[in-house]
Amino acid sequence: MEIKQCTVADLVELAAISISTYKDTFDAFNTEENMRIYLEEAYNKPKLTKELNTAASAFFFLQSEGQTAGYIKINWGDAQTEAIAPNGLEVERIYIKKEYKRRGLGTVLLSHAETCAKEMGKTSIWLGVWEHNPNALAFYKKMGFEKVGSHSFFMGDDEQIDLLMEKHLI
């Protein structure tokens, strides 16, 4: 396995994996129209280009046997999407292709985020996870995350709740 930081040169692959993994995970729980609108807004090339060029954010592909199996996006400082942990690092996205799930790759990516956080002198890592995603909730709890709050997340016109979870590193 190899972890590789993404650049704008990876834009097409990043958009494709973002859309496919999101659909694989959440398609069954959302209307076709809400999913279409969300995917067009969240993973269009101009938006992803801006995210890739944000100084306080980074994307990392996880490659297994030469194939991209998933990725993680981290934010720190002003790039964090919530003001939960001023000295924390946010894991905004952690996406694994369905054919690579249940192989420990999420653990590899979260460990990479922890390493990045420690190298930056951060005291915690945090993330948001949909309240009705029991597999992800169990995984994050196992990895040492605890619920610290919640926020609304909109899929088109459908308000959903994300639980905010944090893991202290010190």
Catalytic residue numbers, as ranges = 140
| C-alpha of 155 from chain center | 16
Q: Which residue has the tokens 């993404």?
A: 6
Question: Which stretches of 43-104 are DSSP H helices?
Answer: 45-52
With contact defined as beta carbons under 8 Å apart, do 6 and 71 qualify? yes
Token pair recorded at residue 42: 């969240």
Amino acid at 117: A
Residues 6+ apart with CB under 8 A from 113: 72, 74, 89, 91, 94, 125
**Dihedral-angle region of residue 144 (phi above 0 means left; psi in -120 to 50 means alpha; beta otherwise):** left
